[in-house]
Amino acid sequence: MPKRVVLAYSGGLDTSVAVRWMAEEMGVEVVALAVDLGQGGDWPAIRERALKAGAVEVVVADAREEFARDFVAPAIRANALYEGRYPLVSSLSRPVIAKHLVAAAREYGASAVAHGCTGKGNDQVRFEVSVRALAPDLDVVAPVRSWGFTREDAIEYARQHGIPVSATKASPYSVDQNLWGRTVECGVLEDPWETPPEDVYELTLRRDVEARELVVGFESGLPVSVDGRALALEHLVPELDQVVGPYGFGRVDMVENRRVGIKSREIYECPGALALLMAHADLEGLTLERDVAHEKARLEPRWAELVYDGLWYSPLKTALDAFMAETQRHVSGEVRLRCQPGGCFVAGRRSPTGLYEHDLATYTDADRFRHQDAEGFVRIFGLSVETWARVQGVGS
C-alpha cells in the first residue's frame, strides 16, 4: 500500500470525494494536484475544497503555456481531428496532467498517483499509459473505478463528510474544458437522436454580431498573430474563441468510438481550435509540395488516433511528430477568415513561401506554362491504360 498519493484534482464532486475516500479507505495521505490548462477554474475555492476534503497538501500548477506549446502546437501541425471531427480537447490534456502528477509525486515523496476517471472512458487509458511511460515505478490508483458509488452516493458521502461540492447546482452533463475547447457528455445527450438543448453550449452561443474578417498569421505551422497583433498560443486560442464563438461556429455533435469499445455521443465546442485548424490546413494547401501534402494527410488521422488512444508518450507518435515538424518549415503566411452569422470560413490566404505561381496557373497571356510539353506527358502517363484497353478491352 502506498503511503502518499498525488491525485489529479479537478475540484468536482468525484475527485473531492476521492480525496477523503482514499484517506479513509486506503489510509494514505493525499496530495491534491490541480492543473490550470485554461479551463478558468476558481483556484482559491478549489484549493479550499481540497483541504476541506482532507488533502494534506494542495498544489496548483499553471500549465497553460506548456500545454499550448508542447501539446496543442503539435496538434495544430498535425491538423489533428479524431474521426475527422474531434480536435482532441481532453485527449491532449491527460498527458500533460500525467507529467505534472509524476513531477509532484517526486517532489512530495509519493509512491502512487491517482485519477478520478471511471472505467468506461478514455481518460483512464490516457492517464495510466502516460504515467507508466513516464514513471513505471509509480502505482496508479483509480478510486472512482473501485468504489461503486452512484452520483447520489457520492453527493451523500460528500455531505456526510462536510465536503463542500457545487454538485447541488447539479449540471446534468459531464463537462471537461481547457484552452483548446470544451467537451460535454451525459444527460439527455445519451440519446443520439435528441437535439442537444441550448444549455449544453457556452462558447458558441449565438449573439447579434456583425459579419467581420480577421487575419491569422502563421509561422512555421503555428499561429502567431491575429490582425497583425502578436499573441502567444495560450492567449491566441481563447481570443479566437471570443471572436468566432458568437457566430455559432465551432460546434461538433458526433457519435464517436471510444478506445474501450463503447460508442458515445459527444458535444464539442471548439470555436478557436476549429478556426485555427481550418486556417492552418488551408495555408498548407498553398505551401506544401504535393507529395508531402498527400502523405501528411494520410498520417494525420493516425496521429490523432494515437493521441486519442492515450499513446502520447509512444515511439510512433514521437516519430510522426518529427515528420509533421519537418513539413511545417515553410508553412508561414496569413489566412483571412470571414465570420458571418452561421459560420466562419477561409476567404483568402497568402504566403511569402507559397508554391502557387500565378504565371503557371493563369489562363491569361501572362502564362509561362509550356503547353506543348503536356502532349508527351499525357501520352506517356496514359500508356499503361492504353495498352490494357487495346489488348484486353475496356469492360470486356
Binding site for ligand ARG (CB under 6 A): 90-91, 121-123, 174, 176, 183, 185, 266
Beta bridge pairs of residue 336 = 215, 348
356, 359, 361, 365: CA torsion to nearest 10: 160
Least distance CB 186 / ligand ARG (angstroms): 8
Nearest of 207, 227, 236 to residue 342 by alpha carbon: 207
Are 265 and 192 a contacting pair, CB within 8 Å? yes
Beta bridge pairs of residue 225 = 217, 230
Active-site residue flag, 70: no
Nearest of 223, 220, 202 to residue 271 by alpha carbon: 202
Sheet holding 4-8, edge to edge: 57-62, 29-36, 4-8, 112-114, 139-141
Beta bridge pairs of residue 112 = 5, 139
Nearer to ligand ARG, 263 or 350 (CB): 263
Least distance CB 384 / ligand ARG (angstroms): 46
Set 94, 126, 259, 349: catalytic member: 94
Nearer to ligand ARG, 40 or 343 (CB): 40
Tell me which residue has cell 515528420: 323
As a whole number of angstroms, the distance between CA 178 and CA 55 comes to 24
3-state DSSP assignment of residue 191: coil
**Would you call 62 exposed, middle or buried from its count of C-beta atoms within 10 A (0-12, 13-18, 19+)?**
middle
Active-site residue flag, 396: no
Set 111, 174, 225, 314: catalytic member: 174
Set 47, 123, 130, 282: catalytic member: 123
As a whole number of angstroms, the distance between CA 23 and CA 361 comes to 69
Least distance CB 183 / ligand ARG (angstroms): 4
**Whole-Å CA distances, 104 to 57, 88, 286, 305, 368:** 11, 25, 44, 28, 63
Active-site residue flag, 123: yes
Q: How far is CA 199 from the centre of its chain?
A: 22
C-alpha cell at 206: 449565438
Nearer to ligand ARG, 113 or 335 (CB): 113
Tell me which residue has cell 508518450: 313
Which ranges of 309-347 does DSSP label H, i.e. alpha helix? 315-327
Active-site residue flag, 153: no
Beta bridge pairs of residue 60 = 34
Q: Where are the beta strands (DSSP E) in 238-363?
A: 251-257, 263-269, 333-340, 343-350
Nearer to ligand ARG, 34 or 215 (CB): 34
Sheet holding 229-230, edge to edge: 229-230, 222-226, 212-219, 333-340, 343-350
Catalytic residue numbers, as ranges: 14, 94, 123, 174
